[in-house]
Amino acid sequence: MMNQDELIHALQQRAKNPMLRTDYADRACPELAAPASPHVVAQTESVLGFPLHPLHKRLLTDVGNGGFGPGDGLIGLPGGRLDDDGQSIVELRHVLWSGPEKAGLPDNVVALCDWGDSIWSCIDEETGSVLTLDASGLTETPWSLHAWLVDWLNGQSLFGKMFVFQERMITNPFTKQLIVARAPASAIGVPYKRI
């Protein structure tokens, strides 16, 4: 497996190519945000109330403050690449997974990237574990942030490894023909629980 310096270098190289920068670069490639300054990182950690995982911090300061990586690209800190609704990881902590009995993401958890259809990859900043957030809640995946990014660089379909899929028949809205659609049924992993 690549060491952290090799991983950062490989991500820097891939991020330079707009057609490979994210999984969705063929649809609309986000701009690669300039790297975050140590001051922005310190301010963000102060607002969050916990430190960022060392590798997550290094991604944001050495590669770019969002706009590269799996899904629609990593979401940045304030002043960096924001999600489609203009939110950084700080705002998303309070918006994601909210509802009557939920009050945003748990402590130490922030969004990494958006996959669409209300599916997100998140990180436990304390452990470096990658989590899947969907309608059923948070699921701890078998990946560390490092392994997740290595798999992405190696061309593996992370989304395909995040879920058990089910097939169903639907009518194509354009052709009116029946087709088989494959949709995520349940996230792979164990329910996330803070120890």
Give the single-character DSSP code of 35: P
Q: What pLDDT, on a 0 to 100 scale, did the predictor assign at position 24?
A: 87
Residue 41 three-state SS: helix
Q: What pLDDT, on a 0 to 100 scale, did the predictor assign at position 168?
A: 80
Q: What pLDDT, on a 0 to 100 scale, did the predictor assign at position 107?
A: 87
What lies within 8 Å, CB to CB, of 104 at 6+ separation is 93, 94, 95, 96, 97, 98
Q: What pLDDT, on a 0 to 100 scale, did the predictor assign at position 98?
A: 63
Q: What pLDDT, on a 0 to 100 scale, did the predictor assign at position 99?
A: 58
- For domain 4-157, give the fold: SMI1/KNR4-like (3.40.1580)
pTM over 0.95: no
Q: What pLDDT, on a 0 to 100 scale, did the predictor assign at position 141?
A: 95
Residue 138: name the closest of 100, 160, 107 by CA: 107
Q: What pLDDT, on a 0 to 100 scale, did the predictor assign at position 102?
A: 60
Q: What pLDDT, on a 0 to 100 scale, did the predictor assign at position 16?
A: 94
How many Å apart are CA 176 and CA 173, to the nearest integer? 5
Contact present, 144 and 155 (Cβ < 8 Å): no
Can you give the residue ranges of every domain in the chain?
4-157
Q: What pLDDT, on a 0 to 100 scale, did the predictor assign at position 184?
A: 75
* 91-143 residue pLDDT tens: 998 888 665 556 578 889 999 999 988 899 999 999 999 999 998 889 999 99
Q: What pLDDT, on a 0 to 100 scale, did the predictor assign at position 166?
A: 75
Residue ranges of the chain whose pLDDT lies below 70: 97-103, 165, 194-195
Residue appearing with tokens 């990494």: 112
